[in-house]
């Protein structure tokens, strides 16, 4: 099962992927910037009796990581992320001060390197990491076959793609990797983006003007 939350003033989608039998779960892009948002996520986990076993990061732009420290410390979880995103993570406090996020320092948080093809598990749920750079360095998408879904972060949105004009952006590379690593998934797979509404792989292949 997958539960979606939308957090902070940038409207970032955070996902809880959970196994109803084992009660284990993975948390993707915890982006809470206010205490009431912390409470929404933590109370959902507690109400369902879930045990978080994975903390996953699609990429380290500050709007996606502003709740990372709280979650990592509360559940004593390392951050599964691509090593190319570590520089951005270490710069979170500086970027946050510019963009209105009070993230605090994240230098002390443990990280675990996840690469293209890395397979992770929470309970009986398998999660495959796919490296899709182009929006920024270290961008991962998470394929969840049992849920027929893929969490795409800011690489792919409904009818659009992530911006490529920021440091580390590369438009041709993003298009190449989306076509190679994401659009090859079955058409019925749900696209769970980092912002905005959900979609399907089939709809993005047909209607996304950047990918047609």
In a domain, 32, yes or no: yes
pLDDT category of residue 99 using cuts at 50, 70 and 90: low
If one counts every other C-beta atom within 10 angstroms of the C-beta of residue 166, the result is: 11
In a domain, 180, yes or no: yes
Tokens at residue 39, please? Answer: 């409470």
Q: What is the C-alpha separation between 193 and 211, in angstroms, rounded?
A: 16
- Percent of the chain at pLDDT > 90 equals 87
What tens digit of pLDDT does each residue of 3-16 get?
Answer: 999 999 999 999 99
Q: What pLDDT score was predicted for residue 97?
A: 59
In a domain, 100, yes or no: yes
In a domain, 212, yes or no: no
CB 58 within 8 A of CB 133: no
In a domain, 199, yes or no: yes
What tens digit of pLDDT does each residue of 177-210 get?
Answer: 999 999 999 999 999 999 999 999 999 999 999 9
Domain of 70?
Answer: 2-207
**Number of structural domains in the chain:** 1
In a domain, 80, yes or no: yes
CB 60 within 8 A of CB 66: no
């Amino acid at each position: 099962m997958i539960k979606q939350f939308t957090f902070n003033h940038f409207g970032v989608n955070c996902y809880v992927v959970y196994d109803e039998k084992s009660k284990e779960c993975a948390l993707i892009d915890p982006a809470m910037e206010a205490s009431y948002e912390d409470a929404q996520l933590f109370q959902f986990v507690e109400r369902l009796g879930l045990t978080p076993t994975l903390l996953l990061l699609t990429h380290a732009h500050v709007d996606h990581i502003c709740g990372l420290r709280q979650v990592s410390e509360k559940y004593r979880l390392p951050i599964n992320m691509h090593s190319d995103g570590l520089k951005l993570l270490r710069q979170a406090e500086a970027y946050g001060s510019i963009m209105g996020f009070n993230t605090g320092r994240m230098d002390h948080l443990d990280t675990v390197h996840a690469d293209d093809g890395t397979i992770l598990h929470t309970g009986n749920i398998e999660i495959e990491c796919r490296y899709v750079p182009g929006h920024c360095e270290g961008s991962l998408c998470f394929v969840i076959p049992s849920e027929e879904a893929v969490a795409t972060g800011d690489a792919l949105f409904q009818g659009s793609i992530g911006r490529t004009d920021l440091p580390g952006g590369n438009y041709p590379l993003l298009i190449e990797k989306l076509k190679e690593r994401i659009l090859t998934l079955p058409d019925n797979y749900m696209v769970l983006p980092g912002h905005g509404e959900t979609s399907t792989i089939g709809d993005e292949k047909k209607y996304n003007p950047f990918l047609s």
